[in-house]
Structure 1
Amino acid sequence: MPKAQLHLLTVQQVERVQPAKADQMLNDGGGLYLFIRRYGAKQWIFRYTSPLANKRRKQSLGALSEISLREARRLASEKRELLARGLDPLYEAAIRKVDKAKDFNDWEAKQRSKVKTVFSEWKRAELQNRKDLGAEIERTFEKDVFPLIGNKHIAEVTRADVKAILDRPLTRKSKRMANRLLSDLKQFFGYADDEELITLNPTRRLTKERVGGKERSRKRYLTVSELKLLHENLPTSGLRTEYQHLIWLLLATGCRVNEILRAKWSHFDFQKQLLVIPAEHSKNTNSHHVYLSEFALQQLRQLHETRTTEWLVPNRTSNGPITRQVLTKQVTDRQQDVGVKGRVANNRTLILPNGKWVIHDLRRTTATLMQELGILPHIIKKCLNQKTEDKIMETYQRAELATQQQRAFKQLGLFLENLGIEDEREPTAINDPR
């Protein structure tokens, strides 16, 4: 269409035009008209000949009160582009309307999805990429989330529902668990928000400080005298022999609990006295070599005598290792002033003078013992596969310090072998070569 036939109206004309006794059509060119009804309504119209039906048609672009002259011209230009491609603007608008309605119906159906269903989708989409395939979060949701909102539509979950969920661990006086649950819920509803399953995130503005309170870093470790007491009490604790060996192996290696529990016999080299933790089992995603002392090997040999699967200690069905929760529960049940009916009879056998201890405290104990043995901090970090906070050192100082690590683990093993001695000798320091 020639340029001279476009943009025939001015802004002033459009703003000043008044209704007449009959309807008016002001031509802006290119098929765009301002339609002024006699009763005052003003509307933009696009008139054209359909390339499909070869008939004259018109399409409303909106009221003048909502669509400016500039916007109307832009919309008319889009219609002319459709005509140039042999398409009918009214027909294309009808198709988009159907598609939009379908999209809306699909969105509505998604919003009617139940929380359990959305969790399963989240697990397939994201949780399966985690090391435990989302098993830990699923256990938490089964315990505290699904009983309250599992069958509720995801879009109907309210802030009050979330608070009721968080009250469950708080009632059990587990503030730390409440904070962890809040973190899990934020991730879950964040996924739902990303997938446009909810219009308002019920966990918004909820913080750990307002739920379980600000968490303090745990500092508990077992002292030398407590380790000796543990050495005396473990054999009569009723704890399975395999679990006792796992406790000493954790102390002798400084490994994270899951790194040991998920280890397979193929990861151990008895000849080289070495455990290789693959990257997928390591918290920091770095593979790690743990040098095994004679004391650590002794625990492994005991475990190997009862070997039935590829795992150090298999679960009940032998299709995987025991979980951290199993070992934690066994230790916790034996640190109760009052026994719980149906659990263990010897509920006080693992109580130690400085208070309750948990399995992860063994790793902190290993680090503390190494420090008392005179091992330098950067060697301890290497032994425990920890990243240094110094980014420059982390980037440029890449030496593995294998010899120093071997000496450190050896000295630690010698100390643990001598736990049965009666005097209170502290660990003997070693000269740590740099």
Structure 2
Amino acid sequence: MAVKNKALLPRSADSADKYISKQLPSQKDAYIQDSTVTGLVLRVTPSGRKVWHLRYTVQVGSGQWVGRKYSLGAFCEGLRTRSAREQAETWRVRIRQGEDPQEEKKKQAEQRKAEHLLEIERKQALRTLNDVATVYAAQLANKKKGHKDGGTHAMTILHNHLLDRFGTIPIQEFTRQDFFAAIDPVLEAGHNSMANTVMSYTKAMFKLAVKREFIEYSVLDCLDKADVGGKDKIRNRVLCATRTKEDELEDLYRILPESGLSLNLQCSVHILLGTGCRGIELFKGRWDHVNFATNTWLIPDENSKNTDPIIIYLSEYSKKWLSELHKLTGHTGWIMPSIKSEERPYMLPKVLSKAVCERQRAPDAPQKKGRTKNHSTLILPDGHWTVHDLRRTAATQMQMLEVTPDIIDACQNHRPLGVRRRYQHGHSMDQMRVAWDLLGRSLAAKADVYQPAG
């Protein structure tokens, strides 16, 4: 219960101020009534805080009167007796006229809230695409749930095709017309797959903007690939023989030594074919992950695309070409060391991809300044091929050798589908070893007659 103080505040405002200043706190709230204004009370809290209250009654419903209390302010914060009495008298007049201080306080709070929300909306309206891109880039760079490259690839695409042109536009003013203005040049150049990629990253960025309440909805939600670059085509280029095409591997082995590729890049082509691994997994590999005694190569989780480690069995074919590569780079610790070691210790796969692509131009094509003179040395009968086609070729060759699809997936470190992914975490190493050995034998039968150019 509150402590009831029978003393009244002095009628003189100055005397009342002095009286209040001398009041000491007790264990419970103490209330001191004013001697001049009816209903004006000073509350002294146990912490020593001294607050002015106005007690009053209002009519609610049909003839029912209820008592209420309204805080005017604190004595210790500068509200002295004279000012407190003036405020109390003013409110008493307004109360007699039908106003309620508490309801007024609620209205003011609601008005402040509304003004605050309007200010937030105003600031959000000024958020630009670049502002959202900064948040999106931070999400992509998250070490646990972001992209493995820290979002570098995605943000480069967004900057090149969207942000460099529209980055300063407020995101709430960005329209689908703006998006197509950015994407149409890509489509006109025939790069439909890149257009779809730009749309995918842009939609993801706008989805994040909705979640962060920068915008209420995304203007791109209604778009899909059919509206941009069309459905992505599944690439089916392989170099091995199938039931419908002739073998090109012998052609590749014949032209590879004279292609102008460096010896380490030639070795990498053979290793990618013999293991079926991804380019980044080879180029980021370390020699301490390769065990020539047990014929195994560990691809750790940090090098794997899906973060699942895998142990690859080295067939005699793969072991041979890894041994050749070890003679060249074994002293560095990295399987494919970078020349610019100050930037990164390993070479990027795009070095091989670019070299292969540049050597598939027409023989009569004009020489490009600063590019290789061997611009047509890797042309194969069935047309253009890429480094990633080597991985597809390895899988197809295994299939032609009657290796089961689940073992091929395991050899290429593809995660099982459905509930198998949730419950089956082992590996069929014996069957995988046989599959890699069969692949190596079939490749060696075609490659052994050709030797790499030094």
TM-score (norm 2): 0.69
Equivalent pair of 1:107/1:196 in contact (CA under 8 Å): no
Question: Paired residue for 2:299?
Answer: 277
Relative distance call for 1:98 and 1:277 in structure 2 (3 A) is: farther
Could you give the per-residue CA deviations for residues 178-220 of structure 1, whole angstroms, max 9, x where no partner exists?
Answer: 1122111110111122222234423231110121112232211
Look at both structures and tell me which one has the larger radius of gyration over its CA atoms. 2
Could you give the per-residue CA deviations for residues 69-128 of structure 1, whole angstroms, max 9, x where no partner exists?
Answer: xxxxxxxxxx9xxx9xxxx55446545544553454344334323323321221112443
Equivalent pair of 1:144/1:168 in contact (CA under 8 Å): no
The alignment status of 1:302 with 2:287, answered yes or no, reads no
Could you give the per-residue CA deviations for residues 356-407 of structure 1, whole angstroms, max 9, x where no partner exists?
Answer: 2122211110011112223233322221122344x46556665522122222
SS at match of 2:298: strand
The alignment status of 1:118 with 2:138, answered yes or no, reads no
How many residue pairs get matched? 358
Relative distance call for 1:376 and 1:200 in structure 2 (3 A) is: closer
Identity of matched residues, %: 31
Question: Paired residue for 1:374?
Answer: 402
1:364 maps to a residue whose letter is R
Q: Distance in 2 between matches of 1:382 and 1:138?
A: 32
Q: Distance in 1 between matches of 2:233 and 2:63?
A: 71
Structure 1 residues 2-401: aligned runs within 5 Å: 27-28=60-61, 49-52=69-72, 55-56=91-92, 88=102, 90-91=104-105, 93-95=107-109, 97-98=111-112, 100-128=114-142, 129-224=146-241, 225-304=247-326, 305-307=328-330, 310-318=333-341, 319-320=343-344, 321-337=346-362, 338-339=365-366, 341-342=368-369, 343-389=371-417, 391=418, 399-401=426-428
Could you give the per-residue CA deviations for residues 11-64 of structure 1, whole angstroms, max 9, x where no partner exists?
Answer: xxxxxxxxxxxxxx99526999xxxxxxxxxxxxx9955233664567xxxxxx
Q: Distance in 2 between matches of 1:161 and 1:269?
A: 55
Could you give the per-residue CA deviations for residues 151-197 of structure 1, whole angstroms, max 9, x where no partner exists?
Answer: 33322222111112222321221111111221111101111222222
Question: Paired residue for 1:431?
Answer: none
Q: Distance in 1 between matches of 2:311 and 2:151?
A: 26
> By how many angstroms is 1:421 displaced?
6.2
Equivalent pair of 2:284/2:336 in contact (CA under 8 Å): no
1:356 maps to a residue whose letter is H
Q: Distance in 2 between matches of 1:252 and 1:116?
A: 45
Question: Paired residue for 1:18?
Answer: none
Q: Distance in 2 between matches of 1:412 and 1:296?
A: 10
Relative distance call for 1:406 and 1:92 in structure 2 (3 A) is: same
SS at match of 2:266: helix
Q: Distance in 2 between matches of 1:257 and 1:193?
A: 36
SS at match of 2:72: coil
> By how many angstroms is 1:278 displaced?
2.5
1:142 maps to a residue whose letter is H
Question: Paired residue for 1:16?
Answer: none
Relative distance call for 1:290 and 1:422 in structure 2 (3 A) is: closer
1:28 maps to a residue whose letter is G
Q: Distance in 2 between matches of 1:155 and 1:399?
A: 50
2:269 maps to a residue whose letter is I
Relative distance call for 1:399 and 1:356 in structure 2 (3 A) is: same
Q: Distance in 2 between matches of 1:96 and 1:345?
A: 75
Equivalent pair of 2:285/2:336 in contact (CA under 8 Å): no
1:161 maps to a residue whose letter is D
Relative distance call for 1:360 and 1:420 in structure 2 (3 A) is: closer
Q: Distance in 1 between matches of 2:449 and 2:302?
A: 42
Equivalent pair of 1:31/1:48 in contact (CA under 8 Å): no
Q: Distance in 2 between matches of 1:30 and 1:346?
A: 102
Equivalent pair of 1:339/1:345 in contact (CA under 8 Å): no
Q: Distance in 2 between matches of 1:309 and 1:52?
A: 78
Q: Distance in 1 between matches of 2:138 and 2:279?
A: 26
Relative distance call for 1:296 and 1:115 in structure 2 (3 A) is: same
Equivalent pair of 1:113/1:154 in contact (CA under 8 Å): yes
Relative distance call for 1:31 and 1:155 in structure 2 (3 A) is: farther
> By how many angstroms is 1:253 displaced?
0.9
Equivalent pair of 1:140/1:181 in contact (CA under 8 Å): yes
Q: Distance in 2 between matches of 1:29 and 1:261?
A: 85
Equivalent pair of 2:329/2:337 in contact (CA under 8 Å): no
Could you give the per-residue CA deviations for residues 323-368 of structure 1, whole angstroms, max 9, x where no partner exists?
Answer: 3433322222222223562333222221211122122211110011
Range that drifts further, 285-294 or 317-326 = 317-326
Question: Paired residue for 1:39?
Answer: none
SS at match of 2:312: strand
Question: Paired residue for 1:411?
Answer: 438
| C-alpha RMSD of matched pairs (Å) | 3.3
